[in-house]
Amino acid sequence: MKHAVITGAAHGIGKALAHRFVRAGYAVTGVDVDEPGATIAERELDARFVVADLRSDAGIAHICCELASTEAIDVLIHNAGINAVGRFSDVSLEDQAQVVAVNFCAPMALTAGLLNTDRFAKGASIVFISSLSHYTSYPGAATYAATKSGLASYARSLSVALAPQNIHVMTVFPGATRTAHARRYSPNNAREEKRMPPETLADHVFRGVKKRKRLLVPGFGNRIFAHLGKYCPCLMEYAMRKVILEKL
Ligand SMILES: NC(=O)c1ccc[n+]([C@@H]2O[C@H](COP(=O)([O-])OP(=O)(O)OC[C@H]3O[C@@H](n4cnc5c(N)ncnc54)[C@H](OP(=O)(O)O)[C@@H]3O)[C@@H](O)[C@H]2O)c1
């Protein structure tokens, strides 16, 4: 039985990913800070969970310790992420540091901890959940955008470095997805119905892993936005200012 490890798996995209991999016959280990949420997800998904806070060294050490005696890891998905949204002067440095800790430092520390203890199976995949903001900008969440672009850059170099070991690295750039995260951080939550369901995103990620893609922008609409952000940056930045920044 193949083994997938997914962070932030008690809710949202992580939970949908856990469900997708369980359905495909994987043994899934979820990681989450939310203990009651993890208990419910464990029961619903038939997955096991490690309760840990990815922000702390102790949390990362606990996850590595729990994974030291399991089957080798075929797929590791760095999914857990948080945001801090607001006018730049209103977002405290402390909140920004939390975003950096969860979104950027934790994936690096967990990847290093598991690589250094040789926990990956032959032909394993490491997946980083970045964000479409890498292409479009994200006024009102500059630190979040920086962590997501940082992840993409880290993953790009890692993919070259790990190729000789036959470890595949994929970066995913989701657009707005229908989860608590999107509801929590959008200015007036007016576009709930237009967001991609997390189950659809999970299908895209699953297929991307199977095809060993390096970069994945899931969904036609998101690919258009990514192209506009890349080739018409001023237009996309204008749109992001109108849709997000001016509504904060
Ligand atoms: N939703 C979107 O529109 C969207 C778009 C682009 C990219 N993404 C990215 O997709 C990923 C998943 O987002 P989502 O929408 O599914 O978010 P979500 O609904 O908030 O779920 C994230 C999960 O991660 C957990 N988590 C947060 N901090 C943690 C920590 N320190 N240690 C361990 N677990 C922690 C959360 O627990 P708690 O509930 O207790 O906080 C929650 O279970 C994130 O990286 C996000 O940046 C989301």
pTM of this prediction? 0.97
The angle at the Cα of 197, spanning 247 to 224, to the nearest 5 degrees, equals 65
Ligand 1 atom at minimum distance from 178 CA: 1
**Is residue 188 scored above 80 in pLDDT?**
no
How far apart CA 31 and CA 46 sit, in angstroms, is 14
141-169, pLDDT tens digit by residue?
Answer: 999 999 999 999 999 999 999 999 999 99
The residue behind tokens 């008690």 is 10
Mind listing the domains of the chain with CATH numbers? 3-247 (3.40.50.720)
The answer, yes or no, to whether residue 89 has pLDDT greater than 90, is: no
Region 79-90: mean pLDDT is 93
Residues composing the chain: 248
Per-residue model confidence as pLDDT tens digits over 40-64: 999 999 999 999 999 999 999 999 9
The span from the CA of 211 to the CA of 192, in Å, is 30
Determine the average pLDDT of the residues in 130-141.
Answer: 95
Assess whether the C-beta atom of 30 lies below 6 angstroms from ligand 1: no
Quote the pLDDT of residue 187. 67
Report which ligand 1 atom has the smallest distance to the Cα of 15.
Answer: 16
User: Which residue puts its alpha carbon closest to atom 40 of ligand 1?
Assistant: 34
